[in-house]
Chain A
Amino acid sequence: MNLNATVLGQSIAFLLFAYFCMKVVWPPIVAALEERKKKIADGLEAASRAQLDLAAAQEKAGEDREIAKQEAAEIVEQAKRRANQIVDEAKEQARTEGQRIISAAEAEVEQQTNKAKEALRAQVASIAIAGAEKILQRSIDEAANEELLKSLASDL
Chain B
Amino acid sequence: MAESSGDLLYESGTEYVSHHLGFLTFGKLDGHWGFAHSAEEAAAMGFWALNVDTMLISFVLALGFMGFYYFISKKMTSGVPGLAQNIVEMIVEFVIDSVDGAFHAKNKFIAPLALTVFSWVFLMNAMDLVPVDWIPLSAQLIAGDSHLYFKAVPTTDINITLGFATTVFLMVIYYSLKVKGPMGFANDFLMHPFPKWYLAPLNLLLELPGFFAKPVSLALRLYGNMFAGEVIFLVIALLGWYQLPLHFAWAVFHILVITLQAYLFMMLTIVYLNQAHSVDH
Contacts and interface: CB of A to CB of B under 8 A. Distances in A.
Interface of A: 1-11, 13-15, 17-18, 20-22, 24-33, 35-36, 39
25 contacts: A3-B47, A3-B158, A4-B42, A4-B47, A4-B48, A4-B159, A6-B50, A6-B163, A10-B55, A10-B58, A10-B160, A11-B163, A13-B62, A13-B163, A17-B62, A18-B109, A18-B117, A22-B113, A24-B73, A25-B69, A25-B112, A27-B73, A28-B74, A33-B92, A35-B78
A25 B88 CA distance: 11
A26 B109 CA distance: 10
B105 interface: no
A contact face: mostly helix, strand, loop, or mixed: helix
Interface residue tally on B, bucketed by range: 35 or more
A9 B115 CA distance: 20
Nearest to B168: A14
Given A11-B166, A21-B66, A29-B73, A36 B78 contact: yes
Interface of B: 25, 27, 42-43, 45-51, 54-55, 58-59, 62, 66, 69-70, 72-74, 76-79, 88-89, 92-93, 96, 108-109, 111-113, 115-117, 120, 157-160, 162-164, 166-167, 170
A18 B116 contact: yes
A27 B43 CA distance: 43
B112 A26 contact: yes
A28 B73 contact: yes
Residue among A18, A20, A33, A36 facing the most chain B CB atoms (10 A cut-off)? A18
B5 to A, nearest CB: 24
A18 B49 contact: no
B42 A10 contact: no
